[in-house]
Amino acid sequence: MKTSKTKSLVAVVACSALAGCVGPNADEGCSCERVKEAPLRVAVFVDNGARNVGAFRWIEITARAKNVVATPIDGEAVRAGALDNADVLVMPGGSSVLESKTLGAEGREKVKEFVRNGGGYVGTCAGCCLLMESSKGHPDMLHMIPFKFGPAGGKAELSILFNRRAEELAGIKRGATKIRYSEGPVPLPSVPVKDADVEVVATYNADINASGDKDRPSMAGQAAAIAGTYGKGRIFVLSVHPESDENDHYVLQGAFRFLTGREISWDYPQRKRGQLAVGFMCDDSFGVDTARLVQRLVTDGEFDVVPMNRALVEGGMLRRVDAVLAPTGVVSSKSAAGLYGTNAGRTKEFLARGGRVFAWGTAAEVAKERESGVTCVADAEAALAALRAFAVEPVPAAAAIPAKAERPIRAGIFQNESNSNIPIARMLDLAPEYELKFLSPDDYANGGLDGLDLIVQPGGGCKSQYNALGEKGREALTRFVLDGGKYYGVCAGAFLALQQTRENYPRLGFVPYKGDDPSHYRGQAPIKVTLTADGKAAFEGSAEKRTVIYAGGPAAVPGDPVADTDVKVLATYAGQIINTDQPLPVEGMAGKAAFLGGRVGKGKVFISCPHPEKEEAAFDLVRSGIKYLTGVAPSPVNLERKRGAVAVRYRSSDKASAEFLFNTLNRDSRFYVWSGKALDDLPHVDAVVLTDKVTKDEAGTLERYIARGLRVVVVADTKAKRLATKKLDGAVVVDSYGKVVDAILK
Rounded average pLDDT per 10-residue block, the chain, 746 residues: 42 42 44 63 97 96 97 98 98 97 98 98 98 94 96 89 98 97 94 96 92 81 97 98 96 98 93 94 95 96 95 93 94 85 92 93 86 90 96 89 94 89 93 97 96 96 94 98 98 97 93 92 93 97 95 96 97 89 89 98 98 94 98 92 93 92 94 86 94 86 93 88 77 94 95
Q: What is the CATH number of the domain that holds 706?
A: 3.40.50.2300
Domain co-membership, 515 together with 590: yes
For the chain, what is the largest distance between any 2 Cα atoms, rounded to a whole number of angstroms?
A: 86
- pLDDT value for 30: 45
The answer to whether residue 714 sits within a structural domain is yes
Domain co-membership, 448 together with 558: yes
Domain co-membership, 524 together with 626: yes
Residue that is last in its domain, among 630, 654, 675: 630
Residue that is last in its domain, among 365, 391, 417: 391
Domain co-membership, 16 together with 89: yes
Q: What is the CATH number of the domain that holds 448?
A: 3.40.50.880
The answer to whether residue 462 sits within a structural domain is yes
The answer to whether residue 210 sits within a structural domain is no
The answer to whether residue 173 sits within a structural domain is no
Domain co-membership, 111 together with 239: yes
Domain co-membership, 303 together with 329: yes
User: Could you give the angle at which helices 6-19 and 249-260 cross, rounded to 10 degrees?
Assistant: 90
Q: What is the CATH number of the domain that holds 353?
A: 3.40.50.280
Residue that is last in its domain, among 630, 657, 678: 630
The answer to whether residue 677 sits within a structural domain is yes
* Rounded Cα gap, residues 37 and 48, in angstroms: 34
Q: For 738, which DSSP code?
A: G
The answer to whether residue 314 sits within a structural domain is yes
Domain co-membership, 437 together with 468: yes
Q: Are strands 196-204 and 223-230 parallel, antiparallel or unpaired?
A: antiparallel
Q: How many other C-beta atoms can be found within 10 angstroms of the C-beta atom of residue 709?
A: 11
Residue whose C-alpha is closest to residue 297's, from 320, 272, 269: 269
- pLDDT value for 37: 65
* Rounded Cα gap, residues 665 and 675, in angstroms: 11
- pLDDT value for 16: 44
Q: For 644, which DSSP code?
A: T
- pLDDT value for 153: 78
* Rounded Cα gap, residues 521 and 523, in angstroms: 6
- CA–chain centroid gap for 82, Å, is 34
Domain co-membership, 550 together with 651: no
Q: Which domain holds residue 554?
A: 409-630
CB half-sphere exposure, 344, CA atoms < 13 A: 9
Domain co-membership, 554 together with 598: yes
Count structural domains, the chain: 4
Give the list of residues 6+ apart from residue 281 with CB closer than 8 angstroms, or none. Answer: 308, 309, 324, 325, 326, 327, 335, 336, 338, 339, 363
Domain co-membership, 197 together with 137: yes
Please write the tens of the pLDDT for every residue from 110-135: 999 999 999 999 999 999 999 999 99
Domain co-membership, 624 together with 650: no
Please write the tens of the pLDDT for every residue from 396-452: 888 888 999 999 999 999 998 878 788 999 999 999 999 999 999 999 999 999 999
* Rounded Cα gap, residues 458 and 700, in angstroms: 29
Element spanning 277, H or E: strand 277-281
Give the list of residues 6+ apart from residue 716 with CB closer than 8 angstroms, or none. Answer: 722, 724, 725, 733, 734, 735
The answer to whether residue 159 sits within a structural domain is no
- pLDDT value for 19: 39
Burial class of residue 493 in the structure, from the number of CB atoms within 10 Å of its CB (0-12 exposed, 13-18 middle, 19+ buried): buried
Domain co-membership, 508 together with 437: yes
DSSP labels, 378-405: SSHHHHHHHHHHHHTSPPPPPPPPPPPP
- Give the residues across from 486 on adjacent strands: 454, 604
Contact 40, 66 (CB under 8 A): no
Q: How many other C-beta atoms can be found within 10 angstroms of the C-beta atom of residue 134?
A: 14
The answer to whether residue 177 sits within a structural domain is no
* Rounded Cα gap, residues 415 and 440, in angstroms: 6
307: left (phi over 0), alpha (psi -120 to 50) or beta: beta
